[in-house]
Structure 1
Amino acid sequence: MSERMSGGRRRALRTADVARESGYSVQQVRDLEKLGVIPAAARMGNGYRAYTPLHIHALRAYRGLAGAVGPVAARKLLAELRTVTITEAASAINEVHVRLAREREEALLAEQALRAIQTEADTPEFEQDSDAMTITELSRALGVRPSTLRFWEEQGLVTPERVTSLRARRYDLSAIRTARIVAALRNTGYGIPAARALVDSLHRLDGTDEALRILRARLDHIALRTVELLRAGADLAAVVAAEEDPAAS
């Protein structure tokens, strides 16, 4: 970091200074200011923008956040961090870490389910009633709404057992595994037709390779997003600290 941003007497930073320190172009700095990613710069007597080190921290934080959660969510989070207490800001950032951890766990469970499907033909399992789930239990386990499971059923993605005269749904172990895989595929961006084609292939001995490839790619992508979030950490801390103590910026 340049001398302007560390000790000594600090002076106003030009747009070019901010661009060089943040890794964005001059035009990108101006565009991101218009979008509210960074606070509006003060204006000097000659009309030029006057930035501070806080703007550079905010831009670097945005780069990492955008890589972790996408540009729209990153803009929203940075705007939120400028209006809340340090405790609330820390909680908001922690929620992003938790979300990524949940996505990773979901993908790992789907991968485990897929490997079980691969081997179940050779090692049949005795599925006890305790292995089954109601629609409420499964929706909670997957983090989706019961209506989503009903929609997947309508689309031929997940087929539950039906019990009682009220047609209450019950999902056996095989349906639970398939539902985990569908959830991971949908979160990867797979549309309904593509997910259905992949689900239809799962019980063929040669039909699971593509699903495994997709799940591994998703795990790799989550890892990269996590690294981006970690990379943004110090700059996020600087943004939060500056909002808590404006004199620090």
Structure 2
Amino acid sequence: MGSKLQSGQRLRPVDLARPHGLSTQAVRNYEEAGILPAAERTPHGYRTYSSLHAAALRAFLALVPGHGRPTAAAIMRAVGEGAVDEALRLVDESHVQLRDDRRTLEAVERALRAPERGPAHEADGRRDQAAGFIGRLAAELGVRPATLRAWERAGLVSPRRDPRTGYRIYEEADARDARLAHQLRRGGYLLEQIAPLIARVREADGTEPLEAVLLDWRTRVSARGRAMLSGSAELEAYLRERG
């Protein structure tokens, strides 16, 4: 989306705002926030912009879908302050986060395909030891036993109780639910969002109900990746415009 503006052409706030469906106040706000370079002023005090400002606005708006508004603003402010390396570092961090999100998604998909494991028991007074299943499962997931109990209170796992001892007994489906809950938490899902998904998995006696969630998650990850490509292209165009 290269600019068709001539290098020395003067632009009004409305000229920048209209192509993007923005208000002129939004353009002024972006300038005041350091997202756009400072505007020149006419003898009567009116703002005038240039092709450089137009390129900056295109870059910012293109960065937002992939990096989020706060990071996109920080990138543009860093460029405006001449700290291009800092701007590129912020871009790199977003790519690392996207990579981690993709790995988490892949981990969830592996968890869905993994064979379920046999039941184990939680021994009272020894629940943090290796012999207690809650300790083993917590160690496997890299969480504290208290986290598994919190998940139980939230309805994410439902271990039965031994009628004789009252100890928790985690069956194969419980271990599966705990692994799914852990991976979905890593994917940014809240407990209240996970609980109904786990309930649907239990009702279906399988993980098919999560397929739509995974498809949506995968679609969002891919869309963010493509948005980052578009944002990088516009940012590079802006850097070239700045010289």
**Structure 1 and Structure 2 fold alike (TM over 0.5):** yes
Query: Which has the higher relative contact order, 1 or 2, with Cα contacts under 8 A spaced 6 or more apart?
Result: 1
Residues 59 and 235, structure 2, Cα contact 8 Å, conserved in 1: yes
Larger radius of gyration: 2
Residues 138 and 176, structure 1, Cα contact 8 Å, conserved in 2: yes
Give 1:226's aligned amino acid. Answer: G
Q: CA deviation at 1:67?
A: 0.7
Residues 76 and 87, structure 2, Cα contact 8 Å, conserved in 1: no
1:30 and 1:226 map into 2 onto residues whose CA distance is 30
Q: What's 1:236 paired with?
A: 235
1:194 has 2:193 as partner: yes
Q: CA deviation at 1:217?
A: 0.2
* Structure 2, unpaired ranges of 5+: 119-129, 160-173
Bigger Cα displacement from structure 2, 151-160 vs 223-232: 151-160
Q: CA deviation at 1:202?
A: 3.1
Give 1:114's aligned amino acid. Answer: L
Alignment of 1:148-187 (within 5 A): 150-151=146-147, 153-156=149-152, 157=156, 174=176, 175-184=178-187, 187=188
Q: Describe the superposition over 1:64-115 as per-residue Cα deviations: whole angstroms up to 9, x where unpaired.
A: 2211132233223322333353333322212212211221121122122123
2:75 and 2:96 map into 1 onto residues whose CA distance is 15
Give 1:67's aligned amino acid. Answer: P
Residues 102 and 3 from structure 1, CA distance in 2 versus in 1: closer, same or farther, beyond 3 angstroms? Answer: same
Q: Describe the superposition over 1:169-221 as per-residue Cα deviations: whole angstroms up to 9, x where unpaired.
A: xxx9844454113322xx1xx43233123224434545523322112101101
Q: Describe the superposition over 1:139-169 as per-residue Cα deviations: whole angstroms up to 9, x where unpaired.
A: 5xxxxxx57x844641324699xxxxxxxxx
Q: Secondary structure at the match of 1:202?
A: helix
Q: What's 2:208 paired with?
A: 209
Alignment of 1:38-77 (within 5 A): 38-77=36-75
Residues 134 and 206 from structure 1, CA distance in 2 versus in 1: closer, same or farther, beyond 3 angstroms? Answer: closer
Q: What's 2:162 paired with?
A: none
Residues 226 and 216 from structure 1, CA distance in 2 versus in 1: closer, same or farther, beyond 3 angstroms? Answer: same
Q: Secondary structure at the match of 1:232?
A: helix
Bigger Cα displacement from structure 2, 63-72 vs 222-231: 63-72
* Structure 1, unpaired ranges of 5+: 140-145, 161-171
TM norm structure 2: 0.68
Identical pairs, percent: 29
1:80 has 2:83 as partner: no
Residues 31 and 37, structure 2, Cα contact 8 Å, conserved in 1: yes
Residues 61 and 201 from structure 1, CA distance in 2 versus in 1: closer, same or farther, beyond 3 angstroms? Answer: same
Over aligned residues, Cα RMSD in angstroms?
3.7
Residues 53 and 158 from structure 1, CA distance in 2 versus in 1: closer, same or farther, beyond 3 angstroms? Answer: farther
Give 2:228's aligned amino acid. Answer: L
Give the aligned length.
Answer: 211
Residues 22 and 56, structure 1, Cα contact 8 Å, conserved in 2: no
Q: CA deviation at 1:136?
A: 7.5
Give 1:193's aligned amino acid. Answer: E
